[in-house]
């Protein structure tokens, strides 16, 4: 129940925000909006207000804003309706309408984190020497280090920060370390021999190698109160960090650093959303912000049917001073639909395979 509710909440809200961007700018530039739909497929319920049919559809995996005169085969419209036709607006106006969808996803993330930091404070990691996790079969595990041990001394030197621990291990040269840890209020002496191991980034790529003992720091956060300007600055940094993380992730997929088997679809999103809601609303907000940025970046990819494909066509039109051939646009969109359909089948396959595993 938690999973279904959090999935509908997260994905429904992000789709609404995305389509709202298209809708607002279409209205701003005087384009007639025929339909605003959350979801695809059969109509569940809705209401017609003015020129627009506001609809909730059966398949909650997307949404769309249908504008008058937006399809390539609809560009020949009666002269009296050209002022409300998408196709007859200036290139920069059409570009703005299309770009507004992804832009609203980025803006949503910025606003989300602004209010989160403003009312909850800006998170900052507390630097301690407490062990959060001991890797299985590592030198630390073999020496008897346990989760939640606090490292207080290495080779007679007091350790006050986690960097003190890292440097002592890194500079050991593989020699035995004499370590004192605090466990349940008592000091325990241990002897550990570091081993050379690969240092990997979050994408699993080897970036270095050094002596390590196989422990991970205990993550503890404190929240520092921030005024409006501090919250806005931190929100901008967090949003930009998510943008760079997402873009780099797409690059790593193309480079085959991240295997295609790691890609997930709606089922994985629902599972993670449910887990984040159980962990707390703050965790769910971070996940929602990351997913919103992912949605924005994904839609900017130059694939026909996606916003990025439309932006590519409009960019070509601005250079050529005339639209692309109607037939070419239709064929490109059909190819785009085929590519997206294949991708959807693939990520569903990955999701189902994970469930069985």
For residues 114 and 9, state if they share a domain.
yes
Domain span holding position 158? 131-219
Greatest C-alpha distance within the chain: 87
Residue 302 within any structural domain of the chain: yes
> Do 170 and 295 sit in the same domain of this protein?
no
Is position 160 annotated as part of the catalytic site?
A: no
State which of 189, 219, 249 marks the end of a domain.
219
What local confidence, expressed as pLDDT, does residue 77 receive?
Answer: 65
* 225 part of a folded domain: no
224 falls within a domain: no
Vertex 26 angle, CA 308 and 309, to 5°: 10
Last residue of a domain, one of 193, 219, 245: 219
SS3 content of the chain, % helix, strand, coil (to 5): 55, 25, 25
Q: Does residue 35 sit in helix, strand or coil?
A: strand
Q: DSSP letter string over 194-225? A: -EEEEEE-TTS-EEEEEEE--EEEPP-EEEE-
Q: Count other C-beta atoms under 10 Å from residue 12's C-beta.
A: 15
Question: Which pLDDT belongs to residue 96?
Answer: 95
Q: Which of 190, 219, 248 is the last residue of a domain?
A: 219
Same domain for 112 and 250: yes
Looking at residue 88, what DSSP letter applies?
Answer: G
Instruction: Please tell me whether residues 63 and 135 are part of one structural domain.
Output: no
> Domain check: are 265 and 294 in the same one?
yes
CB atoms within 10 A of CB 19: 20
Q: pLDDT tens for the chain, 357 residues: list them.
A: 567 778 778 888 899 999 999 999 999 999 999 999 988 888 888 889 988 999 988 887 788 899 988 875 555 667 677 888 888 889 999 999 999 999 999 999 999 999 999 999 999 888 899 999 999 889 999 999 999 999 999 998 999 999 999 999 998 888 899 999 999 889 999 999 999 887 777 777 777 788 899 999 998 888 899 889 999 999 999 999 999 988 988 888 787 777 777 777 777 777 777 778 777 888 889 989 999 999 999 899 888 888 998 899 889 888 888 877 777 777 877 888 888 778 777 777 777 777 776
Look at residue 357 in the predicted model and tell me its pLDDT: 66
Residue 252: strand, helix, or coil? helix
Q: What is the DSSP string of 123-142?
A: EEE----BEEEE-TTSHHHH
Residue 212 sits in the same domain as residue 250 = no
Instruction: List the catalytic residue out of 19, 124, 136, 326.
Output: 19
């Amino acid at each position: 129940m938690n999973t279904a509710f959090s999935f509908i909440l997260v994905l429904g809200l992000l789709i609404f925000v995305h389509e709202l961007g298209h809708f607002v700018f279409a209205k701003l530039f005087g384009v007639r909006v025929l339909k605003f739909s959350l979801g695809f497929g059969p109509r569940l319920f809705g209401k017609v207000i003015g020129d627009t049919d506001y609809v909730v559809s059966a398949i909650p995996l997307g949404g769309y804003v249908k504008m008058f005169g937006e399809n390539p085969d609809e560009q020949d419209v009666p002269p009296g309706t050209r002022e409300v036709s998408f196709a007859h607006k200036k290139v920069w106006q059409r570009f703005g309408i299309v770009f507004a969808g992804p832009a609203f996803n980025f803006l949503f993330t910025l606003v989300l984190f602004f209010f989160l930091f403003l009312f909850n404070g800006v998170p900052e990691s507390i630097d301690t020497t407490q062990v959060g996790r001991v890797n299985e079969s590592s030198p630390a595990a073999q020496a008897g280090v346990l989760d939640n041990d606090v490292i207080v001394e290495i080779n007679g030197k007091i350790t006050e920060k986690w960097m003190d621990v890292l440097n002592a291990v890194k500079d050991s040269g593989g020699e035995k370390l004499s370590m004192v840890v605090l466990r349940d209020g008592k000091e325990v002496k241990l002897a550990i021999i570091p081993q050379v191991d690969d240092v990997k980034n979050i994408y699993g790529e080897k970036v270095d190698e050094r002596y390590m003992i196989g422990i991970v720091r205990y993550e503890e956060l404190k929240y520092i109160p921030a005024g409006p300007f501090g919250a806005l600055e931190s929100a901008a940094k967090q949003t930009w960090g998510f943008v760079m993380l997402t873009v780099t992730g797409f690059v790593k997929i193309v480079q085959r650093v991240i295997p295609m088997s790691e890609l997930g679809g709606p089922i994985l999103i629902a599972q993670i959303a449910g887990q984040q809601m159980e962990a707390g609303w703050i965790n769910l907000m971070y996940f929602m912000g990351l997913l919103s940025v992912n949605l924005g970046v994904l839609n900017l990819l130059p694939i026909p049917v996606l916003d990025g494909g439309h932006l590519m066509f409009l960019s070509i039109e601005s250079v050529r001073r005339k639209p692309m051939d109607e037939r070419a646009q239709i064929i490109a969109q059909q190819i785009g639909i085929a590519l997206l359909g294949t991708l959807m089948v693939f990520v569903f396959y990955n999701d189902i395979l994970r469930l069985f595993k």
